Structure 1
């Protein structure tokens, strides 16, 4: 084969200087957008459709039903009668347990947000510094989180009971014991202390995970610039924990407004421990069977929850955009 023939053969087989070889062209075509097969579409429909369906049926369906029932008068058995805004008018004006329950829920939110959350952040910062026995402290402080609030309520009864409680035994109040759980002026503070004890461990774990993900070079750069350890934490580390702050804030609001188990285990949410969730249960499941009125309380609780959560998220997102 001559040189000219060999060159022509190479260009035909492998392509010329400006052309692409046939095998490479086939690979390029294969790397294009892949079409989903029927099996792929079926899997996507199952994986996405089932969670969405369950969410609509188990969450948004009952939510919309509660909103509709809040404008009716129904005992769960007889006919449903339209009541308009009558349930809400009675709730705000003539229901004596409502405003104490609102006050207690706000106290719950303040205690978890202003006491338990900062204390959990402090514990996370101390453990992140590598103190001795940090693994033991981490496990011991997180242990209350695995307990349900009902169990925490039973533990509170064992410690704070008037006649056989451990606290009165330690204080030596045998002749005139303090009624920590029966006195309406004291019981809410004792229960809040137990709730903060559980919530602190949860916050600590979240912040500890966030602190582990902070870039160490940020701290080193702050130290080189002459920043103290306190300045480094508040001006460098804490702003870097903004995503964790959002999660902790939302969880704190949810925990404060859905509180139910612990007060119901102590005295069924009465005598100073009224909460909105307890009022919903007493009116819908209790002997009263006022489903329409209980739904109105549930709608109020829903609106309060959404108000706090949406406001907090909007503020955090605006702060993130400014950065």
Structure 2
């Protein structure tokens, strides 16, 4: 039975990934057979890095998304998990409320973003008094603001996801270890830092990987709002626009997808390797 997951992983993950990398070195519209594929060498990558105007802002927005996810949802999710792990009265209710956004699809969160940040009918402008004609704030139409409006909603959803992951890790920590630390005179922060945090190392790996993946594969929210244009450019929307857009460029879109894969691995692999290496030594 152990070979079945491996075969499924090869068929649905690694083979498509390798095929994408291979296609990035060809020019192909996707119309017709493989005989219409023309070798392009590294020309697709040269165009992307030199004359493709949408690429720099897409990279910038993806990296901004990644940084914000590490700075806000990750630590805040850990804080919420730590509080809920104290068995407070009504903690089950709080847990359900905080986890509810994770159940919502990203497409639905995109629609909610439009409702919350709509210039005339949106919740934010009406609460702050900026829905009038003279002081209206166009959260979603202004390229300098819309990325932040979207990130607020994305963080709202991601925090509950991270919270559940950390809460599962905290439940697995042996309470006797914290009790022993308390008997030795450690306060709550010292107990968390020296006892709980090291025990969360496996969960930390999961959180890092999930955070990187969720930030770099962001697509639904921005696509619902303006199809990833006018300040909301992301690598995922560029890939979609080139592969299934009006002008299908399979090779060019595959090159963008390969770059996205390389960025993901550049963040994930060093951390996972270092962490597992420490575990092996210990």
What secondary structure is seen at the aligned counterpart in 2 of 1:182?
coil
Work out which of the residue numbers 27, 36, 52 in structure 2 matches 1:73: 27
Q: Which residue of 2 aligns with 1:273?
A: 232
User: C-alpha displacement at 1:164, in angstroms?
Assistant: 1.3
Spell out the pairing of 1:109-148 with structure 2 (5 A cutoff). 109-148=66-105
Q: RMSD of aligned C-alpha atoms?
A: 1.3
What secondary structure is seen at the aligned counterpart in 2 of 1:278?
helix
- Structure 1 segments, 4+ long, off by >4 Å, are none
Return closer, same or farther for 1:276/1:124 CA change in 2, 3 Å cut-off.
same
Q: Which residue of 2 aligns with 1:55?
A: 9
Spell out the pairing of 1:127-206 with structure 2 (5 A cutoff). 127-173=84-130, 174-175=132-133, 176-206=135-165
**1:305 aligned onto 2:259:** no
Q: Distance in 1 between matches of 2:115 and 2:79?
A: 29
Q: Distance in 1 between matches of 2:8 and 2:278?
A: 34
User: C-alpha displacement at 1:293, in angstroms?
Assistant: 0.6
Q: Which residue of 1 aligns with 2:218?
A: 259
User: C-alpha displacement at 1:159, in angstroms?
Assistant: 0.5
Q: Which residue of 2 aligns with 1:319?
A: 278
Structure with bigger gyration radius: 1
User: C-alpha displacement at 1:51, in angstroms?
Assistant: 3.8
Return closer, same or farther for 1:321/1:50 CA change in 2, 3 Å cut-off.
closer
User: C-alpha displacement at 1:48, in angstroms?
Assistant: 4.4
TM-score of the superposed pair, with normalisation by structure 2: 0.94
User: C-alpha displacement at 1:277, in angstroms?
Assistant: 0.7
Which runs of 5 or more residues in structure 1 are unaligned? 1-46
What secondary structure is seen at the aligned counterpart in 2 of 1:199?
helix
Question: Over residues 57-102 of structure 1, what are the superposed CA-to-partner deviations in whole Å (9 max), with x where a residue is unaligned?
Answer: 3222222221111111111125111110100000000001111111
User: C-alpha displacement at 1:138, in angstroms?
Assistant: 0.3
Q: Distance in 1 between matches of 2:150 and 2:210?
A: 19
TM-score of the superposed pair, with normalisation by structure 1: 0.83
The total of aligned residue pairs comes to: 277
By relative contact order (CA 8 Å, sep 6+), the higher-ranking structure is 2
What secondary structure is seen at the aligned counterpart in 1 of 2:72?
helix
What secondary structure is seen at the aligned counterpart in 2 of 1:183?
coil
